[in-house]
Structure 1
Amino acid sequence: MKQARKTTFAFLLALSAVGSAQAQIVRLDGSSTVYPISEAVAEEFQKARRNVVKVTVGISGTGGGFKKFCRGEIDLANASRPILKKEMEVCAQAGIRFFELPIAYDALTVVVNAKNPLKQVTVADLKTMWEAGAQNRITNWKQVNPAFPDAALKLFGPGADSGTFDYFTEAINGKAKASRGDFTASEDDNVLVQGVQRDPGALAYFGFAYYSENREKLKALAIVDPKTGRAVEPSVKSVLEGLYQPLSRPIFIYLSEASYKKPEVREFVEFYLKNAAKLAQEVKYVPLPARAYELNAEHLKQGKLGSMFGGEAEVGVRIEDLLAREARL
């Protein structure tokens, strides 16, 4: 009888240990643009840890991710733009302090249907399409530019919680979230891809990775740099050389200081920084120079909290500029 109780007790202890291991969860949410990188890291990490730690990666948009982050619901926020001042204030009120970790660069890509004869577009053309005053008024490509096709203009874009929406409207319209509202919006970039693929008069914008996955179905437009007048196509090379402007941008993960104290989160973040360059490249983003990841690790070790952007929306930040800021943080 005593032996039976010992066996039962040992079994319960083992079951409890398994339950504890299964309870180790690292939670990420936020940007659909950053999702492919974080998802790839999560998959590789779970393989390496034999699924002892579970990593969940959600897609609620950059703004939606920061809302959850500042409520303490997630450990890390994926973000396709820097955290804004109002979001920093909400986090501060909740006692959430954070590390800002740049993990790659993205070429925000403007795409049209494969049958569209257009090859390039200017920032002024995009503003004519997307500014708030265009709502219910600019509905044909020829209204944008007489040289464009005589076809109905159908627009697709990220929703208002998206960091891509914030960045694009800042870069093109001069103010974040300033946009016409009569377009098909979705936080799921695959919905945008499908919309453009189906409609010959469609145009959309989203992260470079989603274009790369669907380059046989869509056409990416070269963007005319308003400063140089040069039409530049989105590519790893054009981003690295600082030529794809103004739609080249850094993308981030934000880590809660409190979460970083958890062993499983710390291990995941260390794995992320060691593998971000390789996995970012695999999912068609532009990896940062090795020094950037080293600076991230140094900031974690030294406890350097906060944002190098000061809560302001910015466009046109080149990789070398980012590195200089990171070094000063």
Structure 2
Amino acid sequence: MRKYLVYTFAIWVLISCTDIKTSDPKPYFKIDGSSTVHPIVNLAKSKYEKVDDDHKNVINLSVSGTGGGFQALCEGKAEVANASRKITKSERRQCERNGVSILKIPIAMDGIAIVVHPGNNWVDYLSVNELRRLWQPIAERSLSKWSELRKGWPDRTIRIYGPGSASGTYDYFTRSILPDQQATRGDYMATEDDNFLVKGVANDSNSLGVFGLGYYQENFYQLKLVPIKNNTASKDISPVMPSLETVKNGTYQPLSRSLYIYVAQKAVLNPELREFIYFFLDNAPEIVREIGYVPQPSTFYSEAKEQLRMVTVSADSN
């Protein structure tokens, strides 16, 4: 009996090992980067997985900020980078040094929202000049109270909740508000987690928050949206409330922007990845609107699909 059990166990081990060796792990690809772009891609992923069970567990989606996404893409640790700004020259050089060629695909338009606590009854609008004074490095020592930002406002400490330095929102906001400076004040609650920023502002009566308009749309009942007066323009204009319409028609300036995915060209040859991106582009207007962003013109999505097609044609001809 004992010999029979040993023999049976040996056969079971052999079969198990054979199964392990012959069963290839399901291929997957990694998408990393912007917290602002994440909800769009996450919804695309969810819809894609519902089309066919074979699509499940194919996509590994994470958030490390736009800068982190570009780093992962250029180091070959991700096939796609979600980005709330364009790639910088230094980031592109890093990709080139590592032999990573990339495709830029615009997927949506967004605005950067300035928000305060809903109980704030003194902020009727903010000007770009006021945002500049508030955001510049010297403000750590010279501007900490609402009364110091505008005469007549309360003598209360301003607590700022904003994007971390690895975030594309941080980069874009800083370039828009402080075009001649690289640094900003550092004494604020900084994170790439937009949900944390929303909760921070919603629970702090003296708060001011900076994040993507899409996150405001999801949480409008907890926040007060602030109109922006672009007094850096050629002529003085009235404050403009950020909305899907003002982002689309270009009147919400200078805080409107495009959102992107950047794809490693070699990864496009992966049929799983290529199928997902085609699905995403075919359904982008619906997905983008559902999240609360503004779709790009339809020609942008058509041009992106043509880029993908040309990459595969070029590879097939070599």
- Tell me the TM-score normalised to structure 2 length: 0.88
Letter paired with 1:108: I
Shift in CA distance, 52/36, structure 1 to aligned 2, threshold 3 Å: closer
Counterpart for residue 194 of structure 1: 199
Note the 1:119-158 alignment, pairs <5 A.
119-158=124-163
- Superposition deviation, residue 40 in structure 1: 0.5
Instruction: Check conservation: 1:166, 1:176, Cα contact below 8 A.
Output: no
Counterpart for residue 97 of structure 2: 93
1:38 and 1:80 mapped to 2: Cα distance? 12
Instruction: Check conservation: 1:24, 1:52, Cα contact below 8 A.
Output: no
Counterpart for residue 108 of structure 2: 104
Find 1:209's aligned residue among 200, 209, 214: 214
Shift in CA distance, 95/176, structure 1 to aligned 2, threshold 3 Å: farther
- Superposition deviation, residue 15 in structure 1: 7.0
Shift in CA distance, 55/176, structure 1 to aligned 2, threshold 3 Å: farther
Q: Percent identity?
A: 36
Q: Is 1:174 aligned with 2:179?
A: yes
Find 1:278's aligned residue among 272, 278, 286: 286
Counterpart for residue 63 of structure 1: 67
2:181 and 2:29 mapped to 1: Cα distance? 31
2:181 and 2:70 mapped to 1: Cα distance? 16
Deviates more, 1:70-79 or 1:227-236: 227-236
2:117 and 2:274 mapped to 1: Cα distance? 43
RMSD value, Cα: 2.3
Q: Is 1:242 aligned with 2:250?
A: yes
What are the superposed Cα offsets for residues 226-280 of structure 1, whole Å, 9 maximum, x if unpaired? Answer: 2242211111111111111000000000000111111111111111111111111
What are the superposed Cα offsets for residues 131-165 of structure 1, whole Å, 9 maximum, x if unpaired? Answer: 11101321101111114333211111111100000
What are the superposed Cα offsets for residues 177-199 of structure 1, whole Å, 9 maximum, x if unpaired? Answer: 42101111011011111111111
Counterpart for residue 269 of structure 1: 277
- Tell me the TM-score normalised to structure 1 length: 0.85
Letter paired with 2:135: W
Structure with higher Rg: it is 2
Letter paired with 2:214: A
Counterpart for residue 325 of structure 1: none
Letter paired with 1:55: I
Counterpart for residue 232 of structure 1: 240
Find 1:23's aligned residue among 19, 22, 26: 26
Find 1:40's aligned residue among 29, 39, 43: 43
- Superposition deviation, residue 11 in structure 1: 9.3
Instruction: Check conservation: 2:268, 2:311, Cα contact below 8 A.
Output: no
Report the 3-state secondary structure (helix = DSSP H, G, I; strand = E; otherwise coil) of the residue aligned with 2:106: strand
2:271 and 2:307 mapped to 1: Cα distance? 18
